[in-house]
Chains A and B, each alone.
Chain A
Amino acid sequence: MPLSILIWLPAAVGLVAALLPRSIGPRLAALGTLGALGIAIGLIADYDPSSGLQHVTDETWIADLGIHYKLGLDGLNLFLVALTTLGFAAAAVAANFRTWERSRLFYFHLLLGETAVLGAFLAQDLALFVAFFDLMLIPFYFLAGQWGDGENRVAAVTKLVVYTFVGSLLMLAAAIATGVMSAGDGQEISFALSDLRERTLGEGTQQWLFLLFAAAFLVKMPAFPLHGWMPDGYRAMPIEVLAVFSGVLSKVGAYGFLRIVLPTFPDASAHFQELMLILAVVSILYGSAMAFTTTNARLVVGYSSVAQLGFITLGIFALNDQGAQGALLQMINHGLVVVPLFLIIGLLARRAGSEDLRDMGGIAFRAPVLATLFLIVALATLAMPGSSNFVGEFLILLGVFESKMALAFIASIGIALAAVYGLRLFIRAMHNRVGASVESREIALRDAVVLVPLVAVILFFAVYPQLALSRGEDSVVSTIAPAVEVTR
């Protein structure tokens, strides 16, 4: 029940806010996201690491098709849910400090998006997961198309939606096939993940289903070579929306591998392990290389995300406990740094009049607090020892070293490259010669209200990554167990 409230609270608040006067609606929407954040924190406090799936809700949704409305919380999605609520709360509060045309509609779409993402993270029924997964794109289509930046935003965001939908719909077909084909004689068709895990499919069937699921998740992340929508799509979005899109939505793809693919298609996961690892390594190298050559600050972060999600994929397909745990931690870490990073880029762009690194420079001059916040986030991004990101990447590489030594060596280069693009972004924006139209200003109180808590969470996790690791451990180990078994 608390999970249903958590999922539907944002959408309900969004709907109410859309009907209220313009002066109250946006405030109420922000309050709604903060309420969801409060529930998520309550769930973390209440979480019992030893007792598996918790707060389970299981109702029949569509009886004829065997689809259940089944939700559940475990170590795998606990912190991702918290990250989602945190990201959306930050975006909604930050957006409140700007005026939007038709603002009530803006918040309606934003909060509908939050509901869809939370639903995807909490769903324990494959069909329900697919429904939420497909649904979550639509609000972002409206957000980018109506309130986005740039002349070509409609074309860009259409490309984004079509790209991701090809993947999502292939997954839809694969999900249905999984449910139907795994039901043996006399068994009811079921899409519940717990049932699918027990009803194993033949290896050949697993393989084509795996590929369809992988297509959906890799596009969503995005991973090389399926990232074609990313540069245009990222440029088209309002920065507050982009912060959650990149920080939170990309995680659903990685989460899908852990939650669905590894347990349901263990043989195929082992079969395609090398392919996935190679894709991951290529994503790391390609993303890093693009991140330190492009000059658009958004895209620096965008390509760095391609690299970071490469690391996460790497950890997942190490197919051992360290790798998966590192991947889960890194999903949380990446979300935590990307959300403030995009918000900071928004602030920088307002000071420099452009998002191009060549127009920036010297912003730190009169803004020591902003510079400090930025520096903390940037150092966390490049996985400075002492940061939680360091722990995550360390675990991932440890896992890969155990399974595929050679690939782990190549992937390690990615860590060095991260330092290059992370520091480049910081130095070219904050130091160097003052840009032509740069106006160095200290961070305003209202921006600090959003950024300081986010940075505080990063610092907290740097000191105490165990919070997520210890709560996640049991769930991660048991979720990937079938796939680990196969590789042994």
Chain B
Amino acid sequence: MIAATAPHIDVEALSPLLALTGGGLIVLLVGLLRPRVVREVLVPLLSLVALGAALGLSIWQWDTDTEIIAGALRVDTFALAFTGLVVISAMVTVLLSWRAVAPREAAHGEYYAMVLVSAAGMSVLVQAQNLVSLFIGFELLSIPLYVLCATEMRRASSLEAGLKYLIIGSVGSATLLYGLALIYGATGSTDFATIGESLNTAGGPVRDPLFLTGLALSLVGLAFKASVAPFHQWTPDAYEGAPTPVTAFMATATKVAALGVLIRFFDVALINAQPDWAPALAALATITIVVGNVGAIGQTSLKRLLAWSSVAQAGYILAGIVVGTQHGIEATAFYLAAYLVMNMAAFAVIVARARETGLGDAIQAVEGIGATKPLLAWPMTIAMLGLAGIPGTAGFVGKFFLIDAAVDGDYAWLGIVIVVGSAVSLVYYLKVIAAMWMRPLPRSVPALAGGALDEPPADAPVGPRAAGWEVVLVAVVCGVATIVLGIVPGPVFDLAGDAAASMSHLF
């Protein structure tokens, strides 16, 4: 008789991921039922339950530090913290999507299932401990997003965004895969820890052109996903064309996952080659900050503006990764949390105003709302001030932290680049604030369509309608969170500190 030992499966550590994938399957199946109420209410509700479960399980597992699936994934506080951010972002996305056009066009079940699966991919990505699982996570997050971008099937720009994202994303994936293959070739292993060790040995592959090429190619592949300049060109078009809730998801969750994996990849696997990649990454950060901020000036579509701003913000966050210290990772994690709430507040307002005015995401849609819609105007104002880094908001503390980490890691000049970028960014953030508070409400609302709304209004699937309480709620909660994080950052700092502490090999 052959003694068969079943492979040990650490279900507990795997549970957040299981909640996401399982939730995705259930939502997909339930979405097939006929009754409207099931598809329009129960499906989003189930998605929220699945995400809530994933969040709860992540919190439950908070102190674990273990490798699962034969070392393919690592569940530690870092992975759980980043998974938590992704899940929160997905929850907000579900709320913003609830009464949106996109899920209706894409048969509700499929839409929400793709959001969940994409979140699962992001969770795999930030847990990746192996080149193969990294790539699997990368694709699992990307493919649903390509589809989600194109879900407003009757709007040409949505299809265009999906196609563009698919093509450029595939180029990025191919580049990444090539790079990973070369790294494997140079180091002889796909496991992060082994790669790290082999780089540490004298005469190891650190100076090997094969390895350096692989390093460069994989950096480019990941930079595509994180919209780091000069690999950001798809960002404004894809963000603008995609349905706004999907844009919000891409701008926040994808950024969290992409930067999370950059930390895993560079600050874990390749930390011993830090002198090689840090200057390159610092240069990329500088370019990204400049390009993002300059690109955002002059945008009249709020989504495009936020797209460029997200490019610039990615540049700021890279500073925390460049220095390769625990302090830097802590700063990155905190800034990502701040970035998430600030952006979600802004996107919720965009969704609300697009529904109320039928002007799409043109800046005219928010004109004059300071006098009439304080519940939307204040969150947007706080979000813009926060993104610009004004004291009293999460953005200020986050930037303070990032600059602190940069100076601490002997990259003081990068700190100066960050502040100069922030100063430039005020030009376009203040433009949004000025539109809300210092311009009158436009008179005849829907007839004014122009600017960002690039198809005739007749083509728009629905006219002006109520914003929906859940969207206003998201805006208000995220706005308040931005202020609270700016005044009492302590608790989130501690969480970020826990996350960074799991990178115990760093200083």
Is chain B a partner of chain A in the same complex? yes
Question: A33 to B438, alpha carbons, bound, how many Å?
Answer: 26
- The chain B residue sitting closest to A148, CB to CB, is B438
Indicate if B330 sits at the interface (CB-CB under 8 A). yes
Interface residues in A147-206 (C-beta closer than 8 Å to B)? 153-154, 158, 161-162, 165-166, 169-170, 172-173, 176-177, 179-181, 189
Chain A positions within 8 Å of B404 at CB level: 65, 176, 179-180, 189
Are A176 and B437 interface neighbours, CB within 8 A? no
Interface residues in B406-424 (C-beta closer than 8 Å to A)? 407-408, 412, 415-416, 418-420, 422-423
Interface residues in B392-435 (C-beta closer than 8 Å to A)? 392, 396-397, 399-401, 403-404, 407-408, 412, 415-416, 418-420, 422-423, 426-427, 430-431, 433-434
- The chain B residue sitting closest to A167, CB to CB, is B423
Are B400 and A166 interface neighbours, CB within 8 A? no
Are B390 and A173 interface neighbours, CB within 8 A? no
Are B423 and A135 interface neighbours, CB within 8 A? no
Indicate if B497 sits at the interface (CB-CB under 8 A). yes
Interface residues in B429-468 (C-beta closer than 8 Å to A)? 430-431, 433-434, 437-438
Question: A172 to B420, alpha carbons, bound, how many Å?
Answer: 11
Indicate if B371 sits at the interface (CB-CB under 8 A). yes
Are B391 and A177 interface neighbours, CB within 8 A? no
Question: A357 to B118, alpha carbons, bound, how many Å?
Answer: 67
Q: List 16 A-B contacts (CB under 8 A).
A: A64-B497, A131-B391, A131-B396, A132-B391, A134-B390, A141-B430, A145-B434, A146-B370, A161-B426, A162-B430, A166-B420, A170-B416, A170-B419, A173-B418, A176-B403, A181-B407
A146 to chain B, nearest CB (A): 6
Are B389 and A169 interface neighbours, CB within 8 A? yes
B417 to chain A, nearest CB (A): 9
Indicate if A45 sits at the interface (CB-CB under 8 A). no
Chain A interfacial residues counted at CB < 8 A: 34
- The chain B residue sitting closest to A119, CB to CB, is B391
Which of A102, A165, A176 is in CB contact (< 8 Å) with B371? A102
Given contacts A161-B430, A165-B423, A169-B420, contact A134 B396 (CB under 8 A): yes
Are A162 and B391 interface neighbours, CB within 8 A? no
Chain A positions within 8 Å of B434 at CB level: 145, 154, 158
Question: A145 to B434, alpha carbons, bound, how many Å?
Answer: 7
Indicate if B493 sits at the interface (CB-CB under 8 A). yes
A 35-68 to B, binary, CB cutoff 8 A, 1 in contact else 0:
0000000000000000000000000001111010
Are B392 and A135 interface neighbours, CB within 8 A? yes
Question: A169 to B419, alpha carbons, bound, how many Å?
Answer: 5
Indicate if A138 sits at the interface (CB-CB under 8 A). yes
- The chain B residue sitting closest to A145, CB to CB, is B438
Indicate if B489 sits at the interface (CB-CB under 8 A). yes
- The chain B residue sitting closest to A170, CB to CB, is B419
Are A173 and B489 interface neighbours, CB within 8 A? no
Indicate if A455 sits at the interface (CB-CB under 8 A). no
Indicate if B7 sits at the interface (CB-CB under 8 A). no
Which of A64, A102, A141, A173 is in CB contact (< 8 Å) with B330? A64
Question: A173 to B438, alpha carbons, bound, how many Å?
Answer: 31
A359 to chain B, nearest CB (A): 28
Indicate if A90 sits at the interface (CB-CB under 8 A). no
Chain A positions within 8 Å of B203 at CB level: none
Indicate if A401 sits at the interface (CB-CB under 8 A). no
Which of A67, A131, A154, A162 is in CB contact (< 8 Å) with B423? A162
Indicate if A78 sits at the interface (CB-CB under 8 A). no
Chain A positions within 8 Å of B371 at CB level: 102
Chain B positions within 8 Å of A365 at CB level: none
Are B403 and A173 interface neighbours, CB within 8 A? yes
Question: A383 to B413, alpha carbons, bound, how many Å?
Answer: 45
Question: A172 to B399, alpha carbons, bound, how many Å?
Answer: 10
Interface residues in B333-383 (C-beta closer than 8 Å to A)? 370-371
Q: A131-B391, A180-B408 are in contact. List 14 more A-B contacts (CB 8 A).
A: A62-B489, A62-B493, A63-B490, A64-B497, A65-B401, A138-B390, A141-B430, A145-B437, A161-B430, A162-B430, A176-B400, A176-B404, A176-B415, A177-B407
Indicate if A343 sits at the interface (CB-CB under 8 A). no
Closest 5 CB pairs between A and B?
A169-B419, A131-B391, A135-B391, A166-B423, A145-B438
Question: A98 to B396, alpha carbons, bound, how many Å?
Answer: 36
- The chain A residue sitting closest to B389, CB to CB, is A169
Interface of B is mostly: helix
Indicate if B248 sits at the interface (CB-CB under 8 A). no
- The chain A residue sitting closest to B437, CB to CB, is A146
Question: A141 to B433, alpha carbons, bound, how many Å?
Answer: 10
Indicate if B385 sits at the interface (CB-CB under 8 A). yes
Which of B371, B391, B489 has the most CB atoms of chain A within a 10 A radius of its CB?
B391
B 152-173 to A, binary, CB cutoff 8 A, 1 in contact else 0:
0000000000000000000000
Indicate if A127 sits at the interface (CB-CB under 8 A). yes
Are A172 and B419 interface neighbours, CB within 8 A? yes
B57 to chain A, nearest CB (A): 27
Chain B positions within 8 Å of A154 at CB level: 434, 438
Interface residues in A433-477 (C-beta closer than 8 Å to B)? none
Which of B370, B391, B397, B418 is in CB contact (< 8 Å) with A134? B391
A 66-80 to B, binary, CB cutoff 8 A, 1 in contact else 0:
010000000000000
Question: A399 to B136, alpha carbons, bound, how many Å?
Answer: 72
Given contacts A62-B490, A177-B412, A180-B404, contact A142 B437 (CB under 8 A): yes
Which of B385, B401, B403 has the most CB atoms of chain A within a 10 A radius of its CB?
B403
Interface residues in A370-426 (C-beta closer than 8 Å to B)? none
A162 to chain B, nearest CB (A): 5
Question: A141 to B438, alpha carbons, bound, how many Å?
Answer: 11
Are B416 and A173 interface neighbours, CB within 8 A? yes
Are B415 and A135 interface neighbours, CB within 8 A? no
- The chain B residue sitting closest to A128, CB to CB, is B391
Are A127 and B426 interface neighbours, CB within 8 A? no
Question: A479 to B411, alpha carbons, bound, how many Å?
Answer: 32
Are A176 and B438 interface neighbours, CB within 8 A? no
Chain B positions within 8 Å of A146 at CB level: 370, 437-438
Are A169 and B422 interface neighbours, CB within 8 A? yes
Interface residues in A308-361 (C-beta closer than 8 Å to B)? none
Chain B positions within 8 Å of A172 at CB level: 399-400, 403, 419
Chain B positions within 8 Å of A176 at CB level: 400, 403-404, 407, 415
A478 to chain B, nearest CB (A): 29
Question: A177 to B407, alpha carbons, bound, how many Å?
Answer: 6
A265 to chain B, nearest CB (A): 16
B 321-332 to A, binary, CB cutoff 8 A, 1 in contact else 0:
000000000100
Chain B positions within 8 Å of A169 at CB level: 389, 419-420, 422-423
- The chain B residue sitting closest to A179, CB to CB, is B404
Which of B330, B404, B415 has the most CB atoms of chain A within a 10 A radius of its CB?
B404
- The chain A residue sitting closest to B489, CB to CB, is A62
- The chain A residue sitting closest to B427, CB to CB, is A162
Are B385 and A62 interface neighbours, CB within 8 A? no
Question: A42 to B266, alpha carbons, bound, how many Å?
Answer: 58
Are A158 and B389 interface neighbours, CB within 8 A? no
Chain A positions within 8 Å of B396 at CB level: 131, 134
Question: A67 to B416, alpha carbons, bound, how many Å?
Answer: 20
B427 to chain A, nearest CB (A): 6
- The chain B residue sitting closest to A65, CB to CB, is B404
B333 to chain A, nearest CB (A): 12
- The chain B residue sitting closest to A181, CB to CB, is B407
B377 to chain A, nearest CB (A): 10
Are B385 and A138 interface neighbours, CB within 8 A? yes
Question: A153 to B438, alpha carbons, bound, how many Å?
Answer: 10
A295 to chain B, nearest CB (A): 28
- The chain B residue sitting closest to A178, CB to CB, is B407
Are B426 and A162 interface neighbours, CB within 8 A? yes
Question: A484 to B34, alpha carbons, bound, how many Å?
Answer: 84
Question: A102 to B438, alpha carbons, bound, how many Å?
Answer: 12
Are A135 and B390 interface neighbours, CB within 8 A? yes
Question: A65 to B397, alpha carbons, bound, how many Å?
Answer: 10
Chain A positions within 8 Å of B390 at CB level: 134-135, 138
Are B419 and A64 interface neighbours, CB within 8 A? no
Which of A62, A67, A127, A158 is in CB contact (< 8 Å) with B430? A158
Chain B positions within 8 Å of A127 at CB level: 400
B446 to chain A, nearest CB (A): 25
